[in-house]
């Protein structure tokens, strides 16, 4: 199943975000030991597109509990960068991920 993860930074966390960014990115690229596969990832930006202010992930996992556990282990979470995180099941209707989205559990 596919899931989206929308995370918004707490105000004033730019320096902390930059400090732990490489650890965050390395974990997103790592296929183990977690049970989540990151398919798309990137920073959300402020209205002027000058500064990062959050994160958007599209991930594949067996269930939402695996995604929650994955997010809880993230460097940004540990550093207190995020003010909020929302995880939702997602079905891609168009684009390269739509083939993955059509796979259903039997």
Reported confidence tier of residue 106, pLDDT bands at 50, 70, 90? very low
pLDDT at position 19 over 60: yes
Give residue 105's pLDDT band: very low, low, confident or very high (50, 70, 90). very low
pLDDT of residue 79: 97
pLDDT digits (tens, 9 = 90+) for 41-100: 999 999 999 899 999 999 999 999 999 999 999 999 999 999 999 999 999 888 888 877
Q: Which domains does the chain have, with CATH numbers?
A: 2-101 (3.30.70.1060)
Residue 61, burial from CB neighbour count under 10 angstroms (0-12, 13-18, 19+) = buried
Pure H helices in the chain: 14-29, 64-72, 75-78, 98-101
């Amino acid at each position: 199943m596919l899931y989206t993860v929308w995370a918004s930074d707490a105000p004033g966390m730019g320096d902390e975000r930059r400090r732990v960014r490489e650890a965050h990115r390395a974990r997103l690229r790592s296929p183990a030991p977690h049970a989540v596969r990151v398919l798309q990832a990137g920073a959300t930006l402020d209205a002027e597109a000058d500064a990062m202010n959050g994160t958007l992930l599209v991930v594949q996992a067996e269930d939402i509990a695996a995604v929650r556990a994955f997010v809880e282990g993230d460097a940004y979470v540990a550093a207190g960068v995020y003010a909020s995180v929302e995880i939702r099941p997602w079905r891609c209707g168009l684009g390269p991920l739509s083939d993955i989205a059509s796979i259903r559990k039997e």
